Amino acid sequence: NQILGMELLKRAGHEVVLAHDGDQVLAALETEEFDLILMDIQMPEKDGIETTLAIREKEKKTLKHIPIIAMTAHTMTGDRERCLEAGMDDFLSKPIRAQLLYEQISRYTPSR
């Protein structure tokens, strides 16, 4: 899924930065600016929910908002709501479907 997602994004002209865990996500946000985060819910160390909560806490000081879309194989009842309650803007289930991915991204990023 990760490789497929990266290839789909690159083909659509997006720059992609890969983080393997929540700590890497937070570190990348300290040094780079992003238009959007596709957040895996199941990551080692800090999971996607913990990482999103940390991002949203930092945003309270900066008054900036980075759209975060959950990407997860978790599709049980309540998973979508749990992601949204943590501060994510939207939710995509795996396996990745290119058209849905592109539609979600276009909702939250400037036109190219």
Per-residue confidence of the chain (112 residues) as pLDDT tens digits?
788 889 999 998 899 999 999 999 999 999 999 999 999 998 888 999 999 999 999 999 999 999 999 998 867 778 889 999 999 999 998 888 899 999 999 999 876 5
- Determine the pLDDT at residue 45: 86
- Determine the pLDDT at residue 74: 66
The amino acid that residue 88 corresponds to is M
User: Residue 69 contacts by C-beta under 8 Å, 6 or more apart in sequence?
Assistant: 36, 37, 38, 39, 88, 89, 90, 91, 92, 104, 105, 108
Burial class from Cβ neighbours inside 10 Å (0-12, 13-18, 19+) for residue 47 reads middle
- pTM for the full model? 0.91
User: Residue 32 contacts by C-beta under 8 Å, 6 or more apart in sequence?
Assistant: 17
